[in-house]
Structure 1
Amino acid sequence: MQFNHDNMTGALLAAELVNAEASNGPEARVGAALELHGIRGRAALSTFVDGVLEWARLLRRVFEGQDARARCDEVNALLALGASKGVYLSTHDGLDPHLHFAPDSDDLLARVRAVTAGGLAIFLTESRGRRLGVCSRRGCEQVFVDVGRNATRRYCSTRCGNNDAVDRYRQRG
């Protein structure tokens, strides 16, 4: 399965926000994630950072879902909380047509909620309810979006996968 990364902003942003929430200095990571994904209104981030981090704790439930049904149920709950009736197509800034899940006039928190809930809904539809997860390395709580060809990702990074392999090797010897 090939994914169009331009259409994955919501799912990738959701993972970054969840990982930021569990980190030291989450406000800087949240700001960087919003900038990376073109979420405008970052100047007011300090006003909304607590709400964004609270939202990230709800987003984590999607990544922790044990199967497609559980993940879909969690996304439906997020959509009920975060999606507006103002979903529309846009071609701003020379971009290809893409969905906006909230009007630019909404505050930053409302737009973050809408884009992550809507983006996760689209991603789960395209991935058949799979391809989201929590790192399998013991002690690592980072989440990931699996965009690889074979849908076998188990770790948040190559580093965690390698470290886990070393740990398992040492346990055998």
Structure 2
Amino acid sequence: MTFAHDTMLALRAGAALVNSAEPPDTLTDLDDLDAFLAQHPFTGRRDATDAELREVRALRPVLRGFWVDDEELLVERVNAVLAEYAALPQLTRHDGFGWHIHATAADRPLAARIAVELAMAMTDVLRAGERDRLGFCAADDCSGVVADLSRNRSRRYCESGCGNRVNVAAYRARRSAAAG
């Protein structure tokens, strides 16, 4: 199953935002928020204030709640976010992308747009029966989330470098065992 580009972008951004809370916290100031938005752009209003940063940081546990095994609970959480932010889906096209859905106005706060975009992406995941694409990092010392958008469903690690770290540790263990 291939998701629409807006769904894929929202899933990547949502996972990255949730994972920004993993130690070390990578969303502590406005420069960090700027860096996050440079990597995961959202159209519309940007206040660039400490209040906006606090609102986006406060989303992390809410959005982490989308990574659950219980489908009914996921539906409940998605519907709660859509209702809280009065989502009103509309077709739009911009920045070279074809038609896609925005469910909040561009003048809504950044945190509202992020929350609704990920909630809408989760509706696509649910409708497509693709919840198995949502998981947790396979590294023993990480509790980050994973949105596996690979064709062969092989993604096991979050994007915080855990895969590389685990592979290097395994390589060193093999070298040590071979040498000893």
TM-score (norm. length: structure 1): 0.78
Tell me if structure 2 keeps the 8 A contact 1:67–1:129: no
Gaps of 5+ in 1: none
Query: Is 1:132 aligned to residue 137 of structure 2?
Result: no
Q: Which residue of 2 aligns with 1:15?
A: 15
**Number of equivalences:** 170
Q: CA deviation at 1:159?
A: 1.2
Q: Residue 19 and residue 45 in structure 1: after superposition, are their counterparts in 2 closer, same or farther (change >3 A)?
A: farther
Partner of 1:162: 167
Of 75, 95, 98, the match for 1:96:
98
In the aligned structure 2, how far is the partner of 1:168 from the partner of 1:124? 40
1:89 CA displacement: 0.5
- Deviations 1:1-44, CA, capped at 9 Å, x for gaps: 33444442221111111111234341444332323333133342
| Structure that is richer in helix per residue | 1
CA 1:68–1:48 in 2, change beyond 3 Å: closer, same or farther? same
Is the deviation greater in 23-32 or in 114-123?
Answer: 23-32
- Which residue of the partner structure matches residue 24 of structure 1? 25
Which amino acid is the alignment partner of residue 66 of structure 2? V
- Give, in whole Å, the separation in 2 of the partners of 1:13 and 1:58: 14
| 1:54-133 mapped onto 2 (5 Å cutoff) | 54-63=58-67, 65-82=68-85, 84-133=86-135
What's the % identity of the aligned pairs?
30
Cα RMSD for the two superposed structures: 3.0
The offset of 1:59, in angstroms, is: 0.8
Contact 2:14 2:118 in 1 (8 A): yes
- Structure 2: gaps (5+ residues): none
Does 1:143 find its partner at 2:145? yes
- When the two structures are superposed, what TM-score results if normalisation uses the length of structure 2? 0.76
